[in-house]
Amino acid sequence: MRHHWKSTRAAGDTELIRDVTVLSSIAVYLYADTDNILRIGQCLQGKGGLMLRIQRLREAQGLSRSALARIALMHAATVGQIESSYIGRPYQSQLEKLAAALGFTGDAEELLEEVDTDERP
């Protein structure tokens, strides 16, 4: 019985080593430089940071994501995904709807630019 345990353990160790190797490879792609880590920490602590212009404009107008979505004839989840950069490249039509709903007259692409949280809209 002891021999069976050792062979199972060895197989488990091999699998663990493979998983660690895969995770290490992924970590290389997810590496964040020190400046980004500090910026994320500041944002989480409420000490300045960056947000997308779309969020800044929405908040300045006192709109919730749901309210902006209703005005723009979009789903609230889509607005949230755009604001949180979950959608890396929104459709131009989505940006134009949001710009119109916010009364933004600049280039709709500018809604995706990062702005300092301490700046005025």
Do 65 and 75 meet the contact criterion of CB atoms below 8 Å apart? Answer: no
**Ranges of each domain in the chain:** 2-31, 49-116
Q: What is the pLDDT of residues 43-88, one digit of tens each?
A: 554 445 567 899 999 999 999 999 999 999 999 999 998 988 888 7
The answer, as to whether pTM is greater than 0.85, is no
Q: How crowded is residue 94: how many other Cβ atoms within 10 Å of its Cβ?
A: 17
Mapped onto helix, strand or coil, the DSSP state of residue 91 is coil
Closest CA to 85 of 53, 116, 108, 60: 53
Q: What pLDDT shows up at residue 5?
A: 43
| CATH number among 3.40.50.2300, 3.40.50.1360, 1.10.260.40, 3.40.980.10, domain 49-116 | 1.10.260.40
